[in-house]
């Protein structure tokens, strides 16, 4: 300390130095109090005791699949990206595992065999976010038959559209690089869409944005669709236009789509006849079940996950405010606090401080 004091201007009085030292001590004490309060606030959510997904889950252990229909209704082609990297900076891309896994089991439970294809064929690169993983996703990773289909994904050029009742495009950043303008995607969408269902989720609708029908009309012209919105994309990456070369919402609108964007990171699925699209990863369940409904069946009953329940509470908040969200919260059996806190953090980052405060109240029920 004497050495530090020697660095202070020589004309400062001892009284001034004592004042500065006391101020520094008070500041340190204040920061310590704030840190303690912050830790206490975090502990109040009891996140450490929140239910965790089971990494050892299997398809046989999923209650949902025990309700599967007994009849075989047909086949659905699921398409994932082959682009492990892309863009000017060659950033990691791939497909979203959760958007494949959850749809895969919805289709199976409702009587449809699933084939997996990709533009290049073979083993595509998945993206796994452990914070998003649920029992269904781990079950998919532990499913020998499902993983064999992933490792040996069919090359799109070899896919026969006559075999399929529907085609479903999985999202992930890779879809922005090898889906648009793909001739085999156009061939499959034209053929299957003429008599069956075409569906996509999150970035998956990139497959549809540049599809033109035989008469030259854009597939999306005049159709109600959704996908990863500009708001979501630019929140995640301010340089998304440069990194992808386009934004999905912009491209869809440019080709005549009536784009329906909901609040960011909230389930939003849009069905326009036999065209079914979901806005983001949180829309995967509803998009897959929308495919089943568009095929003319009532989807097999399924207990919503804690994540889905929380998304419904968040949707109630954004549409009706805190009271509506609290009422919705009281009706749910499971609840994912971390997901709600994520929305609170997003609100704080955007200086929507009132929303941030109310959302953290919802998380701390």
Q: Which residues contact 327 (CB under 8 A, 6 or more apart)?
A: 316
Question: What pTM was estimated for this model as a whole?
Answer: 0.87
Query: What is the SS3 assignment for 285?
Result: helix
Burial status of residue 132 (CB atoms within 10 A of its CB: 0-12, 13-18, 19 or more)? middle
- So what's the pLDDT on residue 333? 79
CA 158 to chain centroid:
29
pLDDT at 293 over 90: yes
> What are the domain boundaries of the chain?
64-294, 304-363
Confidence band for 339, pLDDT divided at 50, 70 and 90: confident
CA angle 41, 327, 39 (to 5 degrees): 5
> Residue 115 pairs with which residues in a beta bridge?
77
> How far apart, in Å, are the Cα atoms of 41 and each of 44, 335, 338, 359, 363?
5, 19, 14, 14, 11
195-226 pLDDT, tens digit per residue, is: 999 999 999 999 999 999 999 999 999 999 99
Q: Are strands 126-127 and 112-118 parallel, antiparallel or unpaired?
A: unpaired
> How far apart, in Å, are the Cα atoms of 125 and each of 47, 128, 142, 199?
31, 10, 17, 21
How many angstroms separate the CA atoms of 155 and 278, rounded?
Answer: 25
Confidence band for 38, pLDDT divided at 50, 70 and 90: very low
Q: 75 and 167 in contact (C-beta within 8 Å)?
A: no
Burial status of residue 292 (CB atoms within 10 A of its CB: 0-12, 13-18, 19 or more)? buried
CA 155 to chain centroid:
25
Burial status of residue 245 (CB atoms within 10 A of its CB: 0-12, 13-18, 19 or more)? middle
Compute the CA torsion angle 233, 235, 241, 243 (nearest 10 deg).
-90
245-263 pLDDT, tens digit per residue, is: 999 999 999 999 999 999 9
CATH T-level fold of 64-294:
Rossmann fold (3.40.50)
How many angstroms separate the CA atoms of 174 and 126, rounded?
Answer: 9
Q: Check residues 363 and 133 and name the one with the higher pLDDT.
A: 133
């Amino acid at each position: 300390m004497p050495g530090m004091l020697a660095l202070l201007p020589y004309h400062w009085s001892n009284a001034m130095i004592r004042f500065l030292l006391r101020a520094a001590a008070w500041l340190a004490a204040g920061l310590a109090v704030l840190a303690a309060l912050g830790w206490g606030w975090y502990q109040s959510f009891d996140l450490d005791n929140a239910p965790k997904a089971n990494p050892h889950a299997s398809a046989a252990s999923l209650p949902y699949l025990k309700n599967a229909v007994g009849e075989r209704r047909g086949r659905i082609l699921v398409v994932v990206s082959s682009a492990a990297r892309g863009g000017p900076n060659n950033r990691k891309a791939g497909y979203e595992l959760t958007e494949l896994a959850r749809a895969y089991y919805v289709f199976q439970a409702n009587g449809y065999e699933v084939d997996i294809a990709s533009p290049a064929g073979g083993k595509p690169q998945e993206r796994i976010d452990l914070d998003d993983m649920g029992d269904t996703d781990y079950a998919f990773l532990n499913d020998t038959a499902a993983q064999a289909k992933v490792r040996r994904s069919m090359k799109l050029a070899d896919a026969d559209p006559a075999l399929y009742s529907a085609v479903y495009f999985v999202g992930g950043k890779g879809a922005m690089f090898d889906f648009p303008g793909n001739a085999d995607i156009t061939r499959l969408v034209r053929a299957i869409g003429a008599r069956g269902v075409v569906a996509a989720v999150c970035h998956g609708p990139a497959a549809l944005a540049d599809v033109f029908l035989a008469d030259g009309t854009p597939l999306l012209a005049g159709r109600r669709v959704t996908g990863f919105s500009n708001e979501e994309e630019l929140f995640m990456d301010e340089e998304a236009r440069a990194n992808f070369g386009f934004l999905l919402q912009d491209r869809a609108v440019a080709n005549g789509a009536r784009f329906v964007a909901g609040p960011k990171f909230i389930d939003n699925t849009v069905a326009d006849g036999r065209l079914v699209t979901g806005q983001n990863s949180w829309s995967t369940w509803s998009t897959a079940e929308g495919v089943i409904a568009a095929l003319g069946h009532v989807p097999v009953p399924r207990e919503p996950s804690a994540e889905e329940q929380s998304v419904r509470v968040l949707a109630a908040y954004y549409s009706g405010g805190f009271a509506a969200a609290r009422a919705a919260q009281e009706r749910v059996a499971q609840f994912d606090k971390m997901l709600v806190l994520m929305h609170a953090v997003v609100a704080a980052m955007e200086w929507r401080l009132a929303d941030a405060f109310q959302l953290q109240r919802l998380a701390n029920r």
